[in-house]
């Protein structure tokens, strides 16, 4: 039996209603023409924090009892999850500490700081930041809100799958950014339970794709975190992974890896053809289609997971300065 079930996702949907945005599903005429199949964009960029992570963070925090919440929250993040925890904590009147590595872009760090959270920059990897979380849990009694390997976090992300099927019951394929597996695993649980024939494709960058390496090895493995345009997909999945590895290994039909120039092309296309500002991690589904690394056979959905990209980097990519 998998660690997360459809009932968990349905309960999360009821719990977070009114706390998160039900995001739009819009048809991309350009990608539909390119693919000769209807292609839709699920715009999680419309969340208050500009990324899907608010769903899982809010569900996990609302699942805590009042005493646990008041102890204070702590998490490790590559940016968007930290922003989600900080936002949810502010909305609920709770203190939050966000631990990040030096690889997290400055614009994401400052966005978290603006929400009133305490910031800790530690080391040069997500694993280093996670060690600081564990230290703070032990020394200050804070309550950890994991970025992905948690039933309530993954269930919250899975609510995207429920919304997609409500809007597009004829769904054939869904392309999902793949990192720690909370997003891909949660959505896959919902969609495979309700429409098992739907194809689930995880998309990651070639540089340091931790879940892909784990699936290939048949177990969680250590990977070297590298700089990438898809910075939100960086970091390991945890050698003691309890939830998301099992979900991804069992439910994802295919994993596609992208080069940096392919990710840049996805960002550029989103801006020029879709009028959407999308970060590297959010653009990987678009990029996979443009690179012809996936073949579509029916109505398909791309999860556009976030839009929190540094404006100067975005401009250089859109202007064609970055290949």
Active site residue 53: yes
In the block, residue with structure tokens 């970055």: 322
Q: What pLDDT is stored for residue 85 in this prediction?
A: 98
* Stretches in the chain below the pLDDT threshold 50: none
Rounded CA-CA distance 293/240 in Å is: 31
- How many helices (H) and strands (E) are present in the chain, helices listed first? 14, 10
Closest CA to 80 of 185, 211, 231: 231
**Total residues found in the chain within this entry:** 323
- pTM for the model stands at 0.96
Active site residue 293: no
Residue 51 and residue 306 in contact, taking contact as beta carbons nearer than 8 Å:
yes
Closest CA to 5 of 163, 269, 170, 194: 194
Rounded CA-CA distance 240/180 in Å is: 12
Q: What pLDDT is stored for residue 322 in this prediction?
A: 60
Rounded CA-CA distance 130/3 in Å is: 22
Residue 42 and residue 160 in contact, taking contact as beta carbons nearer than 8 Å:
yes
C-alpha 219 chain-centroid distance: 21
Q: What pLDDT is stored for residue 215 in this prediction?
A: 98
Q: Vertex 25, ends 24 and 29: CA angle to 5°?
A: 130
Rounded CA-CA distance 36/32 in Å is: 6
Secondary element (H or E) of residue 27: strand 25-27
Same fold for the pair 6-51+152-318 and 54-144: yes
Rounded CA-CA distance 111/282 in Å is: 18
**Among 28, 42, 53, 108, the one annotated catalytic:** 53
161 CB-near residues (< 8 Å, 6+ apart) = 9, 174, 186, 187, 188, 189, 190, 191, 194
- Domain range summary for the chain, segments of one domain joined by +: 6-51+152-318, 54-144
Residue 276 and residue 304 in contact, taking contact as beta carbons nearer than 8 Å:
yes
Question: 126 has which bridge partners?
Answer: none
Question: 60 has which bridge partners?
Answer: none
Q: What pLDDT is stored for residue 127 in this prediction?
A: 86
Rounded CA-CA distance 213/58 in Å is: 29
Phi (first) and psi of residue 304, to 5 degrees: -90, 95
| CATH number of the domain located at residue range(s) 54-144 in this protein | 3.40.50.1100
Domain 6-51+152-318 listed as CATH 3.40.50.1100 = yes
Residue 112 and residue 83 in contact, taking contact as beta carbons nearer than 8 Å:
yes
Q: What pLDDT is stored for residue 320 in this prediction?
A: 87
Q: Which two tokens stand for residue 6?
A: 């459809």
């Amino acid at each position: 039996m998998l660690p997360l079930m459809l009932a968990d996702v349905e309960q999360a949907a009821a719990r977070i209603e009114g706390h998160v945005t039900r995001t739009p599903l819009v048809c991309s005429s350009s990608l539909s023409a390119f693919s000769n199949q209807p292609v839709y964009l699920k715009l999680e960029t419309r969340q208050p924090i500009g990324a899907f992570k608010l769903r899982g963070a809010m569900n996990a925090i609302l699942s805590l009892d009042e005493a646990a919440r008041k102890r204070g929250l702590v998490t490790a993040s590559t940016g968007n999850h930290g922003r989600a925890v900080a936002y949810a904590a502010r909305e609920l009147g709770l203190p939050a500490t966000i631990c990040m590595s030096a690889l997290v872009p400055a614009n994401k760090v400052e966005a978290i700081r603006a929400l009133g959270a305490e910031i800790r920059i530690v080391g040069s990897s997500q694993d280093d930041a996670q060690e600081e979380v564990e230290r703070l849990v032990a020394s200050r009694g804070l309550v950890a809100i994991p970025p992905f390997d948690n039933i309530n976090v993954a269930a919250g992300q899975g609510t995207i799958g429920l919304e997609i099927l409500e809007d597009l019951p004829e769904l054939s394929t869904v392309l999902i950014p793949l990192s720690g597996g909370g997003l891909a695993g949660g959505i896959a649980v919902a969609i495979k339970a309700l429409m098992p024939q739907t194809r689930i494709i995880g998309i990651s960058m070639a540089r340091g794709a931790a879940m892909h390496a784990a699936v290939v090895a048949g177990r969680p493995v250590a990977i070297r975190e590298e700089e990438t345009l898809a910075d939100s997909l960086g970091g390991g999945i945890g050698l003691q992974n309890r939830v998301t590895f099992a979900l991804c290994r069992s439910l994802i039909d295919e994993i596609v890896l992208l080069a940096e120039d392919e990710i840049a092309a996805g960002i550029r296309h989103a801006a020029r053809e879709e009028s959407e500002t999308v970060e590297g991690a959010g653009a990987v589904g678009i990029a996979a289609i443009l690179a012809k690394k996936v073949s579509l056979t029916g109505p398909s959905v791309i999860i556009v997971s976030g839009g929190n990209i540094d404006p100067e980097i975005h401009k250089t990519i859109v202007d064609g300065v970055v290949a």
